[in-house]
Amino acid sequence: MIDSSDLDFDRRHLWHPYTSLADPLPVYPVESASGCRLRLADGRELVDGMASWWCAIHGYNIPELNRAATDQLAKMSHVMFGGLTHEPAIELGRRLVEITPDGLDRVFLADSGSVSVEVAMKMAVQYQHALGRSRTTFLTLRGGYHGDTTGPMSVCDPVTGMHQLFAGFLPRHEFYDRPPGGFTAAVDAEYISGLEGFFATHADRAAAFIVEPVVQGAGGMHFYNPAYLRVFRELCDRHGLLLIFDEIASGFGRTGKLFVGGDAGAMPDVMTVGKGLTGGYLTLAATLCTSEVADTIGRGEAGVMMHGPTFMANPLACAVAVASIDLLMSQDWKANIARIADSLTLHLRPAAQSDRVKEVRVLGAIGVVEMRDPVDVASFQAHCVGRGVWIRPFGRLVYLMPPYVISEDDLELLCLTVVKYVLALQPENDP
């Protein structure tokens, strides 16, 4: 049981994500979690609207995933992947090759989403080097977010992203505006013309074009027309760049498509997946590529893929990931996502009445209320916890990405909590 002394230690000694130790935000102690609910130390229960930063797609304390973990623990929790292999890694590789877009049949099992992007970027550089090309920069879109380690930070938005402080430390890459409009907006010919010029100017030094397909996640929760993915594919082919799709946030059904890129008819050369891979149980991600990319790297000077983390292909994480994928594919996840989308659209719509709201947008199991000004996180979370829900805003965004199994009543409660807070805001008197 967590008591006040534990919370005091936490406050003085433990860094939480994007939080100051000098003036930390309040934290709420969780004792257990089950289904779509978090149980606090004081007995209160909170409906989880975040799926623990989008990864707990099945909810919490899932019997099938618990069983996979305990069965694997009885065999081995970890063994190095250098020179050894094991059944969980092989089975996970099979599942990923089966469910991802055709042609992505080489799999690198990484520690986390950010590491999987690091691996994707290194693949691209090694690929170009093997072809005798000195191409080490990357092209990408403004408004993107790819992770918190060095390589991914360097392709996050350099102006509106979270990593401006490190600008002098990071490699410099080339950024172009994100596609205009939303998911259903018409394709903009002027935008495409400008993008063609951008490629013509910078492609001869670039190894790859890296994007979050259709949904830009933590960089702003922007959506764009899937037709642009085919434009990206054509331009990469024309200029000899690899196309990298970062599906860490969008993959495993979050948008209503199992994976956005393949469904849009634009095959990437490299794709990263994470978050929902283990259903939120353990850290694991994967970088997939085509055989052409892998074979070219193998013919290069190094002859090998130059990356190998200590916990690569951790058997415990792989076993849970296999169970998570099997559980997802055994359910009518498409119907669940469609149901969530309809409910988010209906119940978040009233928030648009507020002058404080810039836009309300929904895609699949993603609901976003974009404010005109930054959200007071402590105030907002106190409001939410007081009403029995857990939502974590960032910047100007209040958003919901709940577990796929959430009930209609719980989903409505999440939305109404957001709407009540937004509509209570007055220009001269914030709550």
- pLDDT tens track for 165-194: 787 888 899 999 999 999 999 999 999 999
Is 392 labelled a binding residue?
yes
Give Cα separations from 301 to 72, 130, 136, 308, 367 (angstroms).
38, 7, 16, 18, 47
pLDDT band at residue 264 under the 50/70/90 scheme: confident
pLDDT band at residue 161 under the 50/70/90 scheme: low
- Range 248-265 average pLDDT: 92
Is 246 labelled a binding residue?
yes
Residue 69 within a domain: no
Same domain, residue pair 229 and 303: yes
CATH of the domain at 288: 3.40.640.10
Is 145 labelled a binding residue?
yes
Same domain, residue pair 324 and 339: no
Domain end among 330, 355, 385: 330
CATH of the domain at 340: 3.90.1150.10
Give the N- to C-terminal CA distance of the chain in Å, as an integer. Answer: 32
The pLDDT score that the predictor gives to residue 332 is: 96
Is 176 labelled a binding residue?
no
Same domain, residue pair 288 and 341: no
Same domain, residue pair 273 and 341: no
Residue 297 confidence (pLDDT) above 70: yes
Residue 73 confidence (pLDDT) above 50: yes
Amino acid at 403: P
Number of structural domains (the chain) is 2
- Rounded CA-CA distance 316/11 in Å is 31
Residue 430 within a domain: no
- Rounded CA-CA distance 78/311 in Å is 8
Is 15 labelled a binding residue?
no
Same domain, residue pair 171 and 229: yes
Same domain, residue pair 356 and 325: no
Q: Which residues are catalytic?
A: 18, 145, 246, 275
Residue 164 confidence (pLDDT) above 90: no
Is 54 labelled a binding residue?
no
Same domain, residue pair 388 and 314: no
Same domain, residue pair 284 and 356: no
- Tokens coding 333: 């996840």
- Range 408-422 average pLDDT: 98
Q: Can you give the residue range of the structural domain that contains 400?
A: 4-61+332-424
- Rounded CA-CA distance 95/104 in Å is 12
Residue 158 confidence (pLDDT) above 90: no
pLDDT band at residue 18 under the 50/70/90 scheme: confident
Domain end among 330, 358, 391: 330
Same domain, residue pair 178 and 127: yes
- Rounded CA-CA distance 352/126 in Å is 48
Share of the chain above pLDDT 70, in %: 98
Same domain, residue pair 255 and 366: no
- Rounded CA-CA distance 280/61 in Å is 10
Same domain, residue pair 245 and 382: no
The pLDDT score that the predictor gives to residue 171 is: 87
Residue 431 confidence (pLDDT) above 60: no
The pLDDT score that the predictor gives to residue 32 is: 98
Query: Mean pLDDT, the chain, as a whole number?
Result: 95
- Rounded CA-CA distance 11/29 in Å is 12
- Tokens coding 176: 């172009």
Domain end among 306, 330, 354: 330
- Rounded CA-CA distance 39/378 in Å is 19
Same domain, residue pair 206 and 309: yes
